[in-house]
A and B are shown apart, each in its own frame.
Chain A
C-alpha cells in the first residue's frame, strides 16, 4: 500500500484504463433508520488488509461489517507484488485461484549501474514449495478479487460509501463509531474494531495515537503503463541510467501488458512538474528507448511516493486493533507494505475468532500486538537499509552507493548491498502461544515462532498429494513424527481427551509406514519430511492455526507435554 503524497490523476484524463472499475451503490444501513444494531466486529477500511481480516474471520464463523469509504476499489497498481506468504494466506482463505490465474510469478531480478549489469539475483525456489516466491498483480486487481469473495460471503457486510468519522470506546463494552454516508450520519456499535484505514488512519487520529519513526525526504514517481514487450517478468532496476541521469528507475511487469515504472525525482522538481503527464511520458520514453523498446505505449496512472518508516507503539488499544498501514507505514522497497499488512490480518483473525468462539482469554490479543510489532521492527530495519540505498539521504550516502556500484562487478561481496532484500515471513519470539525457541535436540527444522515448512504430502496410503499447510484448516495441528512408525498409545488418548474438552486440535502422524495409531496419517516413505523437520527419532510439533510452530519437543513424554498443549489449545496459553 502506498502512502501517496499526491493522488493519481485517475481516469478521465485521456489515460489508458486497463481496469474496469465497478461503482458500488450506497445501501442505507439499518442504523440510518434508527434501528439499534450491535455488531460483533467492525472493520474500518475495505482495502486488501481489511478485507483479508473479514474473510479470515468468516472462515471461523465470525460475522463482520466492513466500512469502505469509496464506491470502488483503489486506483492504480500501488502494492503490486504479493509475497509467497501472502499467497499462502489467500490460499488458507480459499480465495487464491484468481490471484494465481492472473498474477505473474517471478523469482529473479537484475540491477544495472549506467549500462552495466551489477547484480542478478534469484529468490529461493524449492520444488517442495506450493507457490512461487513472488506474484505481481496490481492492487486494484487484488482488492477486486477480495471484494468479490467478501460480497459472496454471508458473514461479511460490505458497506460502500460509509466513512468512519470518529470512535469512542469503552473497554468493557466495545466501541461506538460515528459514520458519515451520502444520506447522513449514523452511530454504529460493535464489540471489536479493526482499524485498517491506511496510513492516514482516522481511527488512529480519533484515539489520539501517533506514529513513531522516520520519514525520508526523497520522492519517487510511480506510473502504470501499457506496453507490449517480450521483456520477462521480474525486478529490473537501473542506477544512474543514461536515460535518466542521477535517478534510479525500476520496472515490473504486473499483469498482461501492464508495467509499473518507479523513478526517483530530483530535489528541484516540484510535485506538479513531476506529475505533468508530458514530463512523465518524456522520461519513460527516454528509458524505453535506452533499453531498446521502440513500440507504442500508453500511460494509465501516475502518483508520487515518499517513504515513511513509522509504527504505533502498540497495535492493540483495548477493543481496537490496528493492522496494515494504519499500524505501520513501511517503505515500498522490498515489498513489505501490503505483505506485512496481510501477515497482521492472518495473525489477528484466528486469535480474535478463538476469543469470540472458543473461550480464549482476551489477553491472547496482546500477542497479536507483540508478535506483529516484532515483525514490524524487522521490516523497518530492512526497509530502512533498502531505502537508504535506493534513495540516498545525503552526499556521503550517495557517494558510497556510487562506490559500491562501481566496485561490485569486481567485488561480489558488495552485491548484498544492492540486493533489494525482498520481504520474508516474520519469526516470533516467546509468548503465551510461542513456547520456546531453544531446541538443540533437533537437526534443523522450524523452531517455535517460525512458520511451518511447506512440503507436499500424501495422506494415508492414498496417492493424492496435498501440502502440509492445507492440513491446518483453522485448527491447532499436533504432528507426531516417528521414524519407526510407532506412536505411544497414550498420546492418541490424550489428544482425544483434549478434543473432548473443546480443543480445536487435529492430531496426525508423519511416519514412513502405517502407524500403530488410529489417527490421521501422512505418509513419508523416504523420510524426507522427517529430515526437513530435523527429527532424530520421535518428535512432536504443535502448529498454530496461522501455520506458526507454537512448540516442538524431541522424544516427548506424554504426561509432561499434554498439560502444555492443553494450556495453549484450550486456554489460549493461560
Chain B
C-alpha cells in the first residue's frame, strides 16, 4: 500500500512538518524546488508514517557521509 492510500491526514501533517523543519536546517542553496517535490513524491510511494520518517532520517544521515 502506498502512503497516499488511506493514510491518516494527521500523519501527512506530521511528515510535512518534519520535512519542512529538516529542510530548514540545510544551507539555502542545498534546498531546491526540485528537492521539495521529490521528497513529497517519494513519500507518496511509501506505505506508512514510520517508513516516511525513516526515509527523512536516512537522508539526514546521508548528507554527513563522505
Contacts and interface: CB of A to CB of B under 8 A. Distances in A.
Interface string B20-54: 11011010100111001101110010000000000
B58 to A, nearest CB: 18
A403 B36 contact: yes
A394 B36 contact: no
A411 B24 contact: no
Given A399-B33, A403-B36, A394 B24 contact: yes
Contact of A411 (B17, B20, B32, B44): B44
Nearest to B5: A413
A411 B21 CA distance: 22
A231 B30 CA distance: 43
For A397, A413, A416, the residue with the greatest tally of chain B CB atoms inside 10 Å of its CB is A413
B17 A407 contact: no
A388 B18 CA distance: 12
Given A385-B17, A388-B17, A397-B24, A407 B31 contact: no
A396 B12 contact: no
B42 to A, nearest CB: 12
28 contacts: A385-B17, A388-B17, A388-B20, A394-B20, A394-B24, A395-B24, A395-B31, A396-B24, A396-B26, A396-B31, A399-B32, A399-B33, A400-B19, A400-B20, A400-B23, A400-B39, A403-B33, A403-B37, A403-B39, A406-B37, A407-B37, A411-B41, A412-B4, A413-B3, A413-B5, A413-B7, A414-B12, A416-B12
A404 B20 contact: no
Nearest to B16: A417
Given A388-B20, A395-B28, A411 B4 contact: yes
A402 interface: yes
Given A403-B36, A406-B37, A411-B4, 11 more contacts: A396-B36, A400-B36, A400-B39, A402-B33, A407-B37, A407-B40, A407-B41, A412-B4, A414-B40, A414-B44, A417-B13
Q: Report, as a range, how many residues of chain A touch the other chain.
A: 10 to 19
Contacts of B5: 413
Contact of B44 (A396, A397, A413, A417): A413
Contact of A413 (B4, B19, B21): B4
Interface in A377-429: 385, 388, 394-397, 399-400, 402-404, 406-407, 411-414, 416-417
A290 B60 CA distance: 43
A394 to B, nearest CB: 5
B63 to A, nearest CB: 14
Contacts of B17: 385, 388
B66 interface: no
Contacts of A396: 20-21, 23-24, 26, 31, 36
Contacts of A395: 24, 28, 31
A361 to B, nearest CB: 37
A385 B12 CA distance: 11
B12 A400 contact: no
Nearest to B10: A416
Nearest to A413: B4
